[in-house]
Copies of this chain bind each other. A is one copy, B any other.
Amino acid sequence: MKKLEVGILGATGMVGQRFVSLIEHHPWFEVAWLGASEKSAGRNYAEACNWRLREPMPEKARAMQVHECDPGAHPGKLPQLMFASLDSKVAGEVEKAFARAGHVVVSNSGTHRMDEDVPLVIPEVNPDHLALLRGQQRERKWKGMIVTNPNCTTVGLVMSLAPLERAFGLDKVMMTSMQAVSGAGYPGIPTLDIMGNVIPFIGGEEEKVECETCKLLGKLTEGRVQPGAFIVSAHCNRVPVEDGHTESISVSLKSKASLLDLERVWRTFRALPQERDLPSAPKHPIVVREERDRPQPKFDLMTEGGMATVIGRVRACPVLQFKYTALSHNTIRGAAGAALLNAELMKSEGYLD
């Protein structure tokens, strides 16, 4: 089978690097086009990119040329599928330009996530929300389309909530995050700010978590997403960890459940990506650990290649009903891997034919 050629908008950033790395051995996709800022355009990727992943830059990518992110500036044919991880200052316009020009933009940017006609999708949670795309194309008169994945902090939370919402109905959710520095990109957070420190604020993050969670767990009715009927409160903190967002979560549910019920619905949670055996789908989207001091970023980050959400310390909460800790990889499941799985879902649904 010939692989589908894909492009990356924002290929030199931290998430762009993850795209390049994750797609290197992908069975369906191959990177054929790299876009970045003007400063990088015209240079090859090895020169243009300050590679910050521990695994080496894929040999093939090194010599690829980096282009400007302008769909009209290229005489040849660009790939239909474009993964996007652009700086938020430019993401909005560039993504729209590519969608207008007929590209399927699978974006990790926050800009369009909350647009009414833009699907915000986790394939295990709300694959049906892709149906918003019909309206999006019709109303915006686009040949292409934009699909988004959630913020890196939202993903782990929603992965843990989705089975609870389905089985018992969510009532209230309280989440305090301890977020890794890679979530802020590169150069990102100065060492002098975070070494040996905690920063109890991340601009816009709490709002994102609170809104996105309700949209992701919302119901699609009459071509619109009806947000989930529950309340979310987020406290977001930055801690001196390289990768992996850890979250202390308390929930109350609409119907009665026991601690064992929670563990059971998490352990048995399987969804469309698992049924269809999508290449980036974790076998177990949720892994529950028994040890009293897990999950920990150091040991659990790469569970299922960084695509699982790892849950532990499930216990009763005196204020709400249950409390637990969840961990997920912020630049894999929370960014590049999330977009990749979205594209795989779209391919399996026929959006990329």
A residues with a Cβ closer than 8 A to B are 14, 52, 54, 56, 172-174, 176, 178, 181-182, 186-201, 210, 231-233, 235, 237, 239-242, 244, 246, 248, 250, 292-299, 302, 312-313, 317-320, 323, 325
Chain B residue at minimum C-beta to C-beta distance from A174: B319
Interchain CA distance A248-B195 in the complex, whole Å: 20
Given A190-B187, A250-B174, are A197 and B297 also a contact pair (CB < 8 Å)? yes
Query: Contact: B295 with A200, CB < 8 Å?
Result: yes
List 10 contacting pairs A-B, 8 Å CB cutoff, sorted by A: A176-B176, A186-B192, A195-B196, A196-B196, A196-B242, A198-B246, A232-B318, A233-B250, A240-B240, A319-B320
Q: Tell me how far the C-beta of A187 lies from the nearest C-beta in chain B, rounded to whole angstroms.
A: 4
Query: Contact: A319 with B232, CB < 8 Å?
Result: yes
Given A181-B192, A240-B191, A248-B176, are A200 and B233 also a contact pair (CB < 8 Å)? no
B172, B297, B317: the one within 8 Å of A198 (CB): B297
B191, B201, B241, B317: the one within 8 Å of A233 (CB): B317
Interchain CA distance A232-B244 in the complex, whole Å: 28
Given A176-B176, A188-B191, A237-B248, are A201 and B319 also a contact pair (CB < 8 Å)? no
Query: Contact: A201 with B239, CB < 8 Å?
Result: no
Interchain CA distance A300-B195 in the complex, whole Å: 15
Which residues of B lie under 8 Å from residue A294 when comparing CB positions?
200
B172, B176, B200, B231: the one within 8 Å of A312 (CB): B200
Query: Contact: A239 with B323, CB < 8 Å?
Result: no
Q: Tell me how far the C-beta of A203 lies from the nearest C-beta in chain B, rounded to whole angstroms.
A: 8
Query: Contact: B248 with A197, CB < 8 Å?
Result: no
Query: Contact: A198 with B181, CB < 8 Å?
Result: no
Scoring A173, A197, A250, A320 by chain B CB atoms within 10 A of each residue's CB, the highest score goes to A197
Which residues of B lie under 8 Å from residue A232 when comparing CB positions?
318-319
Given A178-B239, A191-B181, are A233 and B323 also a contact pair (CB < 8 Å)? yes
Q: Tell me how far the C-beta of A230 lies from the nearest C-beta in chain B, rounded to whole angstroms.
A: 10
Which residues of B lie under 8 Å from residue A187 when comparing CB positions?
187, 190, 192-193
Interchain CA distance A242-B298 in the complex, whole Å: 11
Which residues of B lie under 8 Å from residue A189 when comparing CB positions?
190-191
Query: Contact: B178 with A186, CB < 8 Å?
Result: no
B194, B198, B235, B248: the one within 8 Å of A323 (CB): B235
Query: Contact: A201 with B237, CB < 8 Å?
Result: no
Interchain CA distance A209-B296 in the complex, whole Å: 22
Q: Tell me how far the C-beta of A48 lies from the nearest C-beta in chain B, rounded to whole angstroms.
A: 15
Q: Tell me how far the C-beta of A255 lies from the nearest C-beta in chain B, rounded to whole angstroms.
A: 19
B201, B297, B302, B312: the one within 8 Å of A196 (CB): B297
Given A196-B196, A196-B297, A313-B200, are A239 and B239 also a contact pair (CB < 8 Å)? yes
B190, B191, B193, B325: the one within 8 Å of A200 (CB): B325
B174, B241, B246: the one within 8 Å of A174 (CB): B174
Query: Contact: A198 with B296, CB < 8 Å?
Result: yes
The 6 closest A-B pairs by CB, nearest first: A235-B248, A176-B176, A187-B190, A201-B293, A233-B319, A197-B298
Interchain CA distance A323-B246 in the complex, whole Å: 19
Query: Contact: B201 with A318, CB < 8 Å?
Result: no
Interchain CA distance A235-B316 in the complex, whole Å: 11
Q: Tell me how far the C-beta of A44 lies from the nearest C-beta in chain B, rounded to whole angstroms.
A: 16
